[in-house]
Structure 1
Amino acid sequence: MTNLYFVRHAHSTYSADELNRPLSERGQEDASKVTNILKNESINVLISSPYKRAIQTIEGLTGIVGIDIVIEEDFKERLLSEKPLNDFDSAIAKVWEDYSFSWEGGESNVVAQNRGVRALERVLERHEGKNIAIGTHGNIMVLIMNYLDKKFDFTFWKQLDMPDIYKLSFDNRRLIEVKRIWDKGQEKPDNTSHVTSL
């Protein structure tokens, strides 16, 4: 069994610099909670998006498990558009309504999803049988989960917490179970018993 712990990053202090935007004070407090939850999950591998806020959300585990974080570019957040959009809510709704649509300079759902799934496939191939924590972002995380099960959709994305943790259990490439474990560390079955394969 391979267990992936997708960790949506904690709250960050807004800046136009997507790559280096740091966690806010609240985000740092929540990152400590993430560490406390995952330190009991026998994590063997740490992987993160290159974005600072994703790295900071899981870096508390490095000293506990004694390993460094491996950066995986393809777990970075989906690029919605090249330039800021006036109405983010309607802009993000539009790309989820039409998976092939993209704003100027941005990624469509199809393009971003394919990128994320390629990264997922590499992780499953390289780290079979391991417990892997992955620091990532809400949209790309849900797009990957959506590839595995269509119920993980725009509505699901909108109800995510920041941070949030979802444990995906695979038997070889077959998704067996999805559990949310962010809520104070209590595992919550999420309509499990999947039969999806990569």
Structure 2
Amino acid sequence: MLTNVYFVRHAHSTYTPDEVGRPLSVKGLADAERISEVLAKENIDIIIASPYKRAIQSVEPLGVKLEKEVILEAGFKERTLSLEPVENFTQAITRVWENPAFSLPGGESNHVAQNCGIMAIGNVLESYEGKNIAIGTHGNIMVLIMNHFDKKFDFNFWKNLDMPDIYKLTFENKNLLDVKRIWDSTR
């Protein structure tokens, strides 16, 4: 029995230091409507989101359109890079990807963050086998999960993601069979 997971990297957000409450920008809200149009054609059975506002807002229009509740799952939240703001984000994110066991003070290493994401996707695959599941999430944790199944999904892949972006992962049990990008950022 095949299970399809549609990872939705959240749309553009308005930067605030509040990671949990950071909202989508005006462009992000418009893109969330486009996300709902794309995913409404995919026979979505279940909608899940990270508890972060920007991830929820990215799939809420789909929930409204399909009259489905958005289930919150902390395992799909963005990884904590550091407890303190980092001076050079590019340098910090490069370092954690170069050394998967490294973490900044109060932050999560790639290993720790990936393990959290793998537990969450494992639970989803067990609970909703044979379903089509949309998951509103974040770029780093999404790629860390994908990387667990196929190492080609790496730091360079992450750097080339759009905001938003959608990837359809097809599983048989917990075995990844196929990955397709279904978001067209030029639309």
Give the structure-1-normalised TM-score: 0.92
Q: Which has the higher contact order (CA 8 A, sep 6+)?
A: 2
Structure 1 gaps, min length 5: 187-198
1:5-154 paired onto structure 2 within 5 Å: 5-154=6-155
Contact 2:5 2:169 in 1 (8 A): yes
**How many residue pairs align between the two structures?**
186
State how far apart, in whole Å, the 2-side matches of 1:183 and 1:161 are: 9
Query: Higher mean Cα deviation, 39-48 or 63-72?
Result: 63-72
Instruction: Mark the CA change 1:47 to 1:128 in structure 2 (over 3 Å): closer, same or farther.
Output: same
RMSD, matched Cα: 1.2
Secondary structure of 1:140 counterpart: helix
Contact 1:9 1:164 in 2 (8 A): yes
Secondary structure of 2:16 counterpart: coil
1:171-190 paired onto structure 2 within 5 Å: 171-183=172-184
- Post-superposition offset of 1:67: 1.2
Residue 189 of structure 1 corresponds to which residue in structure 2? none
Residue 159 of structure 2 corresponds to which residue in structure 1? 158
State how far apart, in whole Å, the 2-side matches of 1:173 and 1:62 are: 26
Contact 1:37 1:185 in 2 (8 A): no
- Post-superposition offset of 1:184: 5.6
Structure 2 gaps, min length 5: none
Identity of aligned residues (%): 60
Contact 2:33 2:62 in 1 (8 A): no
**CA deviation vs aligned residue, 1:64-93 (integer Å, no higher than 9, x gap):** 222100000110000000100100001000
State how far apart, in whole Å, the 2-side matches of 1:123 and 1:113 are: 15
State how far apart, in whole Å, the 2-side matches of 1:129 and 1:174 are: 13
Give the structure-2-normalised TM-score: 0.97
Runs ≥4 residues deviating over 6 A: none
- Post-superposition offset of 1:63: 2.1
Amino acid aligned to 2:151: K
